[in-house]
Structure 1
Amino acid sequence: MSKSQAKSTPMTSQAAARIQSATAKANGGQVKAGSFAAVAQRAAATNQGGAAKGSK
């Protein structure tokens, strides 16, 4: 299945929190800007209609 045919599931805040938690645990409590966890958090905020921190 090509990427354009794949079903898209919106990122939820709960899923982003799990990703961010796992990343922080693996990196001594740090989540770097631009990491997958940070991008997931921004996507969740966008999907909920909220502005992501640092967005324009």
Structure 2
Amino acid sequence: MGRANQRKTRDQAALSPIPADGIDVEYSRELADHEDLEAQARAKAADERARLGSRE
């Protein structure tokens, strides 16, 4: 029981550091195609549903 918990934390991958300026440059709206824009709209709708669902 205790062994599995210790191994779990050791095997987790390290997250990449967040830029100091807080700007994420991996996504550019100017370079986005139609599929990217659809994915952004779906993500925004899902966030809104999650936000509204947490109030209930």
What TM-score results when the alignment is normalised by the length of structure 2? 0.31
TM-score between both structures, scaled by the size of structure 1: 0.31
If asked which structure has higher relative contact order (CA below 8 Å, sep 6+), I would say: 1
Which has the larger Rg? 2
User: Between Structure 1 and Structure 2, which shows a larger proportion of helix residues?
Assistant: 2
